[in-house]
Amino acid sequence: MIKYLNLYSILFGFFFSQNLFSESLIMNNETRSFKKYFYIRDTLYTLSNYIIEVYLPAQKIYVHSRDGKVLEFKCSTGNPRLEKGVSTPEGIFVIQNKARKIYSAQFDSTLMINWMGFNFNIGFHALQGNAYYKHLGRQVSSHGCIRISRETSEFFYSNIPIGTPVFIHSGKSARVIAFAQKNESYKIENKKSLKAKCEENLKLIYAGLYQLKHHKLIISEKNLSHFGIELGDENKIPPQLPDFLKSQPYHLRRNLFDVKEK
């Protein structure tokens, strides 16, 4: 089961002492959802009004709006067992291009409806016919793209602009995305600088030093290429701060999602 927080709540965070944080982790060391709730994450920001989240284990898409609303859609992602098939890549991307109709040069000129690309030849799209509908929200079935219904594709194409972030994950990300706020300052870097500073942020969070220094970065189609940004590994984030920071209050940012395991 996936429980979603109002996106505005992740933008303010909460302050706790290190002692409270450590004690809570020890008391709940078998409650994965609790640890995911309190782990610090490297947060990237967007000026867009939407964030598209693709949660691979559930084959679901969640469209988060700046006003706090969340819409849920079914999808079917890449099946590496198919001939020429690949798994849909995890990572943080942005919508790079859109087209009402395109034909696949790789797969017998298959018509892809309401194409929205984000990772080279991988993107959201619908197909003709209804045969593939039975896989939506149930299992992987594509050659790498994210298949959606024609109704969903029409909503996406009409409402989601180029530059909208796409967050594809399996629930173990060291990064999240949040909406940029008018009263805060951010850096809009070029492609080369964004990549370098994202790598630095990941090193800082793995070292437990994220509270001392990190870059608040904006992502868009202007500075994020088709390669996207890696998610990192939540298991590499230390459960407590270094000794010299333990006595200081520090900022915790809520995760975009809270996955509760059965």
104 and 13 assigned to the same domain: no
57 and 153 within one domain: yes
Same domain for 66 and 124, yes or no, is yes
Per-residue pLDDT at 12: 29
52-68 pLDDT tens trace = 999 999 999 999 999 99
Q: Which domain holds residue 117?
A: 51-168
- Tell whether 90 and 115 lie within a shared domain: yes
> Which of these three, 168, 184, 206, is where a domain ends?
168
Same domain, 57 and 33: no
The predicted-structure confidence for 181-195, as pLDDT tens digits, reads as follows 888 888 899 999 999
CATH number at residue 71: 2.40.440.10
Provide CB contacts within 8 A for 126, sequence distance 6+. 112, 113, 114, 147, 148, 149, 150, 152, 153
| Same domain flag for 88 and 114 | yes
| Same domain flag for 180 and 162 | no
Domain edge (last residue) among 119, 152, 168: 168
Same domain? For 156 and 228 the reply is no
Domain-ending residue, one of 140, 168, 196: 168
Residue 149: pLDDT over 50? yes
- pLDDT tens digits for 84-136? 999 999 999 999 999 999 998 777 789 999 999 999 999 999 999 999 999 99
One domain, residues 138 and 198 = no
59 plus 164 within the same structural domain = yes
The order of strands in the sheet holding 91-94 is 70-74, 60-65, 50-55, 165-169, 91-94
65 shares its domain with 122: yes
Q: Which of 177, 233, 170, 243 is nearest to 206 (CA)?
A: 233
Q: What is the mean predicted confidence (pLDDT) over 5-14?
A: 31
* Residue 91 shares a structural domain with residue 155: yes
Closest of 253, 257, 90, 233 to residue 172, by C-alpha: 233
Among candidate residues 70, 44, 96, the one with its CA nearest the CA of residue 231: 44
Please give the tally of structural domains in the chain: 2
